[in-house]
Amino acid sequence: MAISVFDLFKVGIGPSSSHTVGPMKAARTFVAGLRRDGALERVGSVRAELYGSLALTGKGHGSDTAVILGLLGETPEDVDVDAVPRLLEQVRRDGRLLLDGERAIAFDPGADVDFRRKESLPGHPNGMRFRAFDAEGAELRSTVYYSVGGGFVVDEQAAGADRIKADDTSLPHPFGTAAELLELCRETGMSMSSIMLANEQAFGRTAGQVRSELLEIWRVMRQCVRRGVTTEGTLPGGLKVPRRAHRLYRQLGGACDAAGLAKPDLTDLSDPMRGSDWVTLYALAVNEENAAGGRVVTAPTNGAAGIVPAVLHYYLHFAQGASDEGVVRFLLTAGAIGILFKENASISGAEVGCQGEVGSASSMAAGGLAEALGGTPEQVENAAEIAMEHNLGLTCDPIGGLVQVPCIERNALASVKAISAAKIALRGDGHHFVSLDKAIRTMRDTGRDMMDKYKETSRGGLAVNVIEC
């Protein structure tokens, strides 16, 4: 299997990679297939049916919005997030939709996006079916897709898969487990980030292009933080959750520079935990932007999008000798760890609970930080394992189906946990009792044993107890 670091770190929109980005991509893929086969001009109507977790929490996650945008031909990475309300209002007002921006069809969002809350498709909890009909109502095409976490989408032929299928890319340093990755490092004398950099070039990018594109990912993360700390108000969705990052930012006395970095005041060292406050701020800023449907980097999911940026900001502002090269090494190593979770377990909250999202992201950030701080491959693997081990069993129980409570604070706590995991590992020599592979396997098994009501259905945990109270 060949997965690129850019498959894990993707620019998109909130609030969810599996419930927003995935359905948008699926809808766009469906329309592109109609165009490719010459059927677009024959379409009179389109219907989207959402099943399982997509149906149960899709309203709160903006799945219906995502479907409409995808049918319009928009993509998660390019859609103008400020124009989204206008686009949606026009469809609702006119009762019509320009399929792929060209073919006008009748469309009623309330009826043509059907939330099948009592039904599931067999391949994955996040299933959806798109159906196209001609003007007489005859079905032209029906296609099933699964949104399997992190914005990855597979079709019905990959039913049952919780990860993308292998492509034909031949990697110079293939690995499927952390043990294999460590052995590669020992055999070659290369770091994890160097292994990943060599592998990334097999996808057709030069080393310089990989670095440049990773720094662009980092720029988008910084801009997301900047927007998060400068925006006030209440998050959408009905819970009336107030944005807190802006207030905390003022309390901490920070300032944004010309590059968009929310910089801490390092002259006040009276509180030894002040750095933790800043890490919390960075994570809150990103996840509030995500909850508001803003531009974020999936890392590896939207629900966990604040962890890697928060820890990267910590590295930049609180680590001596921090540099762009360190940022690149961080992201490459985090990508390697994310690939292990994607291949051997899952990063889908609907599949394994929040341990697969926040847990994986915390593990990725811990390993990335250990690498950027000069850790050995063994210390990096140890850091990733510590972070994952202490996120095991984490449920996905969003109140109201919204990626707000407990999701936003959960990112902040997992960011601090990632930093602690890296520091513990760097104080040791890399030898430890539980391997990363065993932690990943345990997360997978725990997810299989977890009751469905704790896996992004809003039918258990805080999602029901808070509402009931």
C-beta atoms surrounding 270 within 10 Å: 5
Q: Are 286 and 305 in contact (CB under 8 A)?
A: yes
Q: In terms of Cα–Cα distance, which of 420, 326, 345, 327 is closest to 382?
A: 420
Task: Name 276's Cβ contacts closer than 8 Å, sequence gap at least 6.
Answer: 416
Q: What are phi and psi of 125, to 5 degrees?
A: -60, -25
Report the pLDDT value the prediction gives residue 272, as an integer from 0 to 100: 72
Q: In terms of Cα–Cα distance, which of 351, 97, 81 is closest to 223?
A: 81
Q: Are 94 and 49 in contact (CB under 8 A)?
A: no
Token representation of residue 85: 């309300």
| Dist CA 365 CA 413 (whole Å) | 13
Task: Name 235's Cβ contacts closer than 8 Å, sequence gap at least 6.
Answer: 241, 242, 243, 288, 291, 292, 402, 404
Q: Mapping DSSP to helix (H, G, I), strand (E, B) and coil, where does residue 434 land?
A: coil
| Dist CA 399 CA 301 (whole Å) | 18
| Dist CA 221 CA 53 (whole Å) | 28
Q: Are 337 and 363 in contact (CB under 8 A)?
A: yes
Q: Are 250 and 277 in contact (CB under 8 A)?
A: no
Helices and strands: H and E segment counts in the chain: 19, 11
Tens place of pLDDT per residue across the chain (469 aa)? 589 999 999 999 999 999 999 999 999 999 999 999 999 999 999 999 999 999 999 999 999 999 999 999 999 999 999 999 999 999 999 999 999 999 999 999 999 999 999 999 999 999 999 999 999 999 999 999 999 999 999 998 765 444 444 456 899 999 999 999 999 999 999 999 999 999 999 999 999 999 999 999 999 999 999 999 999 999 999 999 999 999 999 898 876 665 556 677 666 666 777 789 999 999 999 999 999 999 999 999 999 999 999 999 999 999 999 999 999 999 999 999 999 999 999 999 999 999 999 999 999 999 999 999 999 999 999 999 999 999 999 999 999 999 999 999 999 999 999 999 999 999 999 999 999 999 999 999 999 999 999 999 999 999 999 864 4
Report the pLDDT value the prediction gives residue 83, as an integer from 0 to 100: 94
Quote the DSSP letter at residue 107: -
| Dist CA 262 CA 249 (whole Å) | 9
CATH classification code of 13-158: 3.30.1330.90
User: Domain locations in the chain?
Assistant: 13-158, 178-454
Residue 99 pairs in a beta bridge with 103
Asked whether the bond before 406 is cis by omega within 30 degrees of 0, the reply is yes
Find tokens 């002259």 and name the residue. 267
Q: What are phi and psi of 422, to 5 degrees?
A: -65, -40
Q: Mapping DSSP to helix (H, G, I), strand (E, B) and coil, where does residue 113 land?
A: strand
Report the topology of domain 178-454: 2-methylcitrate dehydratase PrpD (1.10.4100)
Matching fold, domains 13-158 and 178-454: no
C-beta atoms surrounding 325 within 10 Å: 12
Q: Are 381 and 436 in contact (CB under 8 A)?
A: yes
Q: In terms of Cα–Cα distance, which of 427, 330, 422, 442 is closest to 381?
A: 422
Q: Are 397 and 458 in contact (CB under 8 A)?
A: yes
| Dist CA 216 CA 213 (whole Å) | 5
Q: Give ∠ CA 223-229-235 in degrees, rounded to 5.
A: 105
Cβ-in-10-Å burial (0-12, 13-18, 19+) of 308 comes to: buried
pLDDT digits (tens, 9 = 90+) for 57-77: 999 999 999 999 999 999 999
Half-sphere exposure of 264 (CA within 13 A, CB side): 24
Q: Are 341 and 178 in contact (CB under 8 A)?
A: no
